[in-house]
């Protein structure tokens, strides 16, 4: 049964479903992206990479995972962040050469260390530099490679910040960007407080036919559909809500077909996905090096287990390569119903509400 939602276009690329996996620093590597695609995400973005790193990049065993793309991931975007405009073009070309289908420029990261180095969300405070970066990337990569942008709704909620946002937003499309993802929080908010979906609604009305993806407070399949229905955005990117819960994509597809929300995955279904995620990570990083990366995911996967605190503790105690299999044998050996993860996040702010 087909989705009741329209397809999503990223330049020449047509996606069959408008719910995609966002770029997630420290998370959205090739194994996570592969699992997300298998579970229903129509598209994904890699964890953000620095221009300086890419310009100097020489493939070595310890760094090869950054540019690894599995055959089943396409289309997939490479996300780029940096400070100096002149480095963005050569860095973007490295991503194209690695096989990424789309180049996404990050003007949204709110992390203090990033802002202090004049990267990410800092560029929302300097429209001329931001638009120079867009021009350099668009000029550097082949015409058939779409260029997209990630933004927040501004540095803060001042009138000056709003003016700078719209100068960058409109200017980016004029310079060849085909889609912009906008997070409903400001840079200064980071991840504190609610996301303002009203801003996304206003922005889509302003943008008209230009493609916008919404971001912020998407922790359930229903919230993905709610954001599109309320704001009118063309698609949504699921970030933190997809860590350890790739089922959010198949659940969103079911809701879009008019079906009831599927039950959370059973323990055996969880076991299969966790085991495959670990297998892909071991294949990419090696049995020892994958442990720190997979520990972060396992903590999130444990939230779908009815005994999540005990399962989380066991996953965190894994210190030896392959010992995670003992955790699966202990907690996922027999089938039982899973649970939907607890959402401990503020609700988005919509018309008539006060933050």
Contact 347/341 with Cβ under 8 angstroms? no
Q: Residue 202: count other Cβ atoms within 10 Å of its Cβ.
A: 14
In angstroms, rounded to a whole number, what is the distance separating the alpha carbons of residues 104 and 178?
A: 10
169 and 37 within one domain: yes
Find the DSSP H helices in 61-151: 85-98, 112-116, 127-140
Active site residues per annotation? 109
Domain residue limits at 324: 267-331
Q: Render pLDDT for 277-315 as a digit per residue (tens, 0 to 9).
A: 999 999 999 999 999 999 999 999 999 999 999 999 999
The whole-model pTM stands at 0.94
In percent, the amount of the chain with pLDDT more than 90 equals 79
Mind listing the pLDDT tens digit for each residue in 20-55? 999 999 999 999 999 999 999 999 999 999 988 998
pLDDT of residue 354: 36
Per residue in 143-198, pLDDT (tens digit) is 999 999 999 999 999 999 999 999 999 999 999 999 999 998 898 887 777 789 99
Structural domains of the chain, count: 2
Q: How far apart are CA 233 and CA 191, in angstroms?
A: 21
Give yes or no: residues 193 and 307 share one domain.
Answer: no
Say whether both 251 and 276 belong to one domain: no
CB atoms within 10 A of CB 27: 21
Q: Cα(129)–Cα(123) distance, rounded to whole angstroms?
A: 7
Give a yes or no: residue 102 inside a domain.
yes
Is the domain of 190 the same as that of 325? no
CB-based burial label for 60 (10 Å; 0-12, 13-18, 19+): exposed
Q: Are residues 230 and 140 in the same domain?
A: yes
In the predicted structure, residue 115 carries a pLDDT above the cut 70 = no
272 in the same domain as 247? no
Average pLDDT over residues 113-140: 84
Does residue 125 sit within a domain? yes
pLDDT the model gives residue 116: 52
């Amino acid at each position: 049964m087909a989705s009741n939602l329209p397809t999503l276009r990223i330049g020449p690329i047509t996606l069959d479903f408008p719910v995609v996996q966002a770029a997630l620093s420290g998370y959205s590597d090739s194994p996570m992206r592969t699992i997300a695609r298998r579970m229903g995400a129509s598209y994904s973005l890699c964890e953000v990479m620095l221009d300086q790193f890419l310009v100097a990049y020489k493939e070595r065993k310890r760094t090869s995972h950054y540019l690894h793309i599995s055959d089943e991931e396409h289309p997939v975007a490479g996300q780029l962040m940096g400070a100096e405009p002149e480095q963005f073009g050569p860095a973007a070309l490295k991503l194209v050469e690695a096989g990424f289908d789309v180049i996404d420029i990050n003007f949204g990261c709110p992390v203090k260390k990033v802002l202090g180095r004049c990267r990410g969300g800092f560029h929302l405070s300097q429209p001329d530099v931001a638009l120079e970066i867009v021009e350099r990337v668009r000029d550097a990569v082949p015409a058939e490679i779409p260029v997209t942008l990630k933004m927040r709704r501004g540095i803060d909620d001042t009138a000056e910040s709003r003016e700078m946002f719209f100068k960058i937003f409109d200017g980016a499309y004029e310079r060849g960007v085909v889609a912009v993802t906008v997070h409903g929080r400001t840079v200064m908010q980071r991840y504190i407080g609610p996301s303002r979906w009203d801003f996304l609604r206003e922005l889509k009305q302003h943008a008209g036919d230009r493609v916008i993806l919404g971001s912020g407070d998407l922790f359930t399949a229903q919230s993905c559909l709610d954001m599109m229905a309320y704001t009118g955005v063309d698609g949504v990117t699921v970030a933190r809500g997809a860590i350890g819960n790739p089922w959010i994509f198949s659940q969103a597809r079911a809701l879009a077909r008019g079906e009831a929300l599927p039950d959370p995955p059973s323990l055996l279904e969880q076991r299969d996905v966790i085991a495959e995620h670990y297998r892909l990570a071991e294949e990419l990083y090696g049995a020892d090096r994958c442990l720190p990366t997979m520990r972060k995911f396992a903590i999130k996967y444990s939230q779908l287990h009815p005994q999540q605190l005990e399962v989380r503790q066991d996953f965190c105690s894994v210190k030896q390569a392959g010992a995670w299999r003992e955790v699966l044998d202990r907690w996922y050996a027999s089938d039982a119903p899973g649970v939907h993860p607890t959402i401990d996040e503020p609700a988005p702010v919509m018309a008539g509400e006060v933050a």
